Amino acid sequence: MRACLMLGALLIALVAIAQPAIRGFDFAAWGPGIYRTPGSDTSLANLAATGANWVGIVVTVYQPDRRATDIRRLPVATPTDADLRHAIATAHRLGLKVMLKPHVDLSRDDAHWRGDIGNAFTEAQWSRWFAAYTRIITGYAALARAERVELFCVGTELEGTSGRETEWRRVIAAVRAAYGGPLVYAANWSGEAAAIRFWDALDYLGVDAYYPLATEAGATVAELQQGWAAGVNELAGLHARWKKPILLTEVGFRSSAGACREPWEWQSSPALDLQEQANGYQATFQALWMQPWLAGLFWWDWEADLTHGGAQDRGYTPWGKPAEAIVRRYYAPAPRRCPPDS
């Protein structure tokens, strides 16, 4: 029995060493007050119970359209600073480390997305946009410092702007002055990460990794794992070039038919398919979990609103679905049980 217990402890230690350091979820709310509700606190506790040790807390600010240069918190849509402080403090009480992850979205331009910001800007518009962005992002960086946040994301999928290397280096320098902790940028998977030239100014190479893993709905785990091959090669090459660890700042699949074919698609209404999500999770763990360059990942997403999740939910959250059990097996592997004494 003693030998078995010692072996079990050794296996647990080896698993802990082999695991990526960051085992997280992105935690999201789109509105003021939600992060301070009892339901949000319960949702964070449910998240921590999966074995996760990190949470990426999302806050979204807005500009009217892709050509606008004013970026603002919207009173009806942006979590307040008090909301963020409460969520961060709750996460810390639960033993979770925190990444603060600001997003920019378009409030009156449904035909485009944040990656289109900057299309056809003049030099004067570029100057105004970066000034506005720097004000917003350094404000959140200061909040992150005050709340002892462990990681700060300087930008998310702003691929229409990330070619402006000089301006982004200034943004990063301003954030470092306001925050002082480790930094990541969350690049879009479809070419932005490879094109960025300011990775050396950051601590992690962040990728929102919505790689298509299949051409049809209903692919098997083995087929989806093979579907990761191109993405794995791309991420390994990014690491080899910049000599920095890769952090998947987002990765995830909806609980719907075809979710692994187009993981980024969130607006359509395909049929419910819990198994497709579970297969995507299993294939992702099998393809990535032991890669030496992987610092960790944040699954997209775990909702602060407890009405999301469960067996009839077609969204990204794995809460109350087969995918959650898969996460638990990797994030909190059970110790080997010893046989009873004879």
pLDDT at 200: 98
Residue 341 within a domain: no
Residue 245 within a domain: yes
Residue 130 within a domain: yes
Phi, psi angle pair for 99, to nearest 5°: -105, 130
Q: Mind listing the pLDDT tens digit of every residue in the chain (342 residues)?
A: 454 444 444 434 444 456 899 999 999 999 999 999 999 999 999 999 999 999 999 999 999 999 999 999 999 999 999 999 999 999 999 999 999 999 999 999 999 999 999 988 999 999 999 999 999 999 999 999 999 999 999 999 999 999 999 999 999 999 999 999 999 999 999 999 999 999 999 999 999 999 999 999 999 999 999 999 999 999 999 999 999 999 999 999 999 999 999 999 998 889 999 999 999 999 999 999 999 999 999 999 999 999 999 999 999 999 999 999 999 999 987 654 455 553
For residue 83, the Cα-to-chain-centroid distance in whole angstroms is 19
Residue 223 within a domain: yes
pLDDT at 18: 64
pLDDT at 333: 73
Residue 336 within a domain: no
Residue 141 within a domain: yes
Phi, psi angle pair for 233, to nearest 5°: -65, -40
- Identify the helix (H) or strand (E) that includes residue 242: helix 229-242
**Residue 62 lies in domain:** 2-331
Number of domains in the chain: 1
- Identify the helix (H) or strand (E) that includes residue 93: helix 81-93
Three-state DSSP state, 219: coil
pTM over 0.75: yes
291: Cβ contacts below 8 Å, ≥ 6 apart: 232, 235, 236, 246
pLDDT at 334: 60
Residue 255 within a domain: yes
pLDDT at 15: 46
CA–CA distances in Å: residue 61 to residues 71, 104, 236, 247, 292: 7, 5, 32, 23, 35
Closest CA to 155 of 146, 230, 164: 164
Residue 214 within a domain: yes
pLDDT at 226: 98
CATH code of residue 125: 3.20.20.80
Strand partners, 207: 187, 248
